[in-house]
Structures are given as structure tokens and as C-alpha cells.
Structure 1
Amino acid sequence: MNQQGIRLVRFLKYELGLSSRSIALGLRRQRQSHGPLPMVLYQLGFIDLVQLDYLYEWTWSS
């Protein structure tokens, strides 16, 4: 995983409060679907719309 990926995982864990298991499942599903991780996490029900928006804002500003 590159530096940006590590920063994203830290953000998900410490800013959004996702568990390591949720993040790992999201990453696996992302690899299978080739979709953007924020949308995968939303589709799995791990984040809500407010968190999705916050995640995209963080991603675009980084």
C-alpha cells in the first residue's frame, strides 16, 4: 500500500471510526468491483451520506 493508501486507512479509522475489519472488507470488495472505495463503503452500509461527503471532501483536498 502506498502513502496515500495508508493515509486513507488512517482517516477511515480515526476520523470516521471504521473498524479494521470493515476497512479490510471494503478494500477486498473494491478490488473485485473496481469501484471507488468511498462508494463501496457506502454500498456496504459502513458509512452514511454525511460521512461519504466528508470522505470525498478529504480525498479531494489531499
Structure 2
Amino acid sequence: MSTRNKEIELLNYLHDELELSDKDMAVALRHREFDQAPLPMLLWQYGLVNLDQLGQILDWLHNDI
């Protein structure tokens, strides 16, 4: 699976399962261009997900590999 497809799946997971808004995800994606950090960490760093949600995201990413 391509990196682009995995990113789309991650964004869908964030929207559907964690109910992040498109606006919240856009903020993190915008900052990722400048910070060069993984999206889950940016979501947590900017307070868009809590520590439990970050763990869920990381588990999802680990299980998706």
C-alpha cells in the first residue's frame, strides 16, 4: 500500500473513529509542513487529541502495518 493511501486511511480513522473535525486535521496538516513531525504527535502537541487518543492512534498505526 502506498504512503498516500495510508495517510488517507489515517485521516479517515481520525475523522470517523476519533471524530476530529476537518478544521482540526487541517491545522495539524498545515503545521506538519513546517515542523516536519508525525501527524499524531502534532495532533497531541496542539491539544487536538488527548493522551488516550494519541495512544489509540499509535495502536491503529501499529496494527495497520
Q: Quick one: percent identity of the two aligned structures?
A: 34
- Paired residues, number: 62
* Structure 2 unaligned blocks of 5 or more: none
Query: TM-score scaled by structure 1?
Result: 0.94
Larger RCO (CA within 8 A; separation ≥ 6): 2
Are residues 1:57 and 2:56 paired? no
TM-superposition CA deviations, 1:11-57 (whole Å, max 9, x none)? 00011110001101101111110011111000111100000000000
- Describe how 1:1-62 pairs up with structure 2 within 5 A: 2-62=4-64
* Structure 1 unaligned blocks of 5 or more: none
Query: TM-score scaled by structure 2?
Result: 0.90
- State the Cα RMSD in Å: 1.1
SS in 2 for 1:21: helix
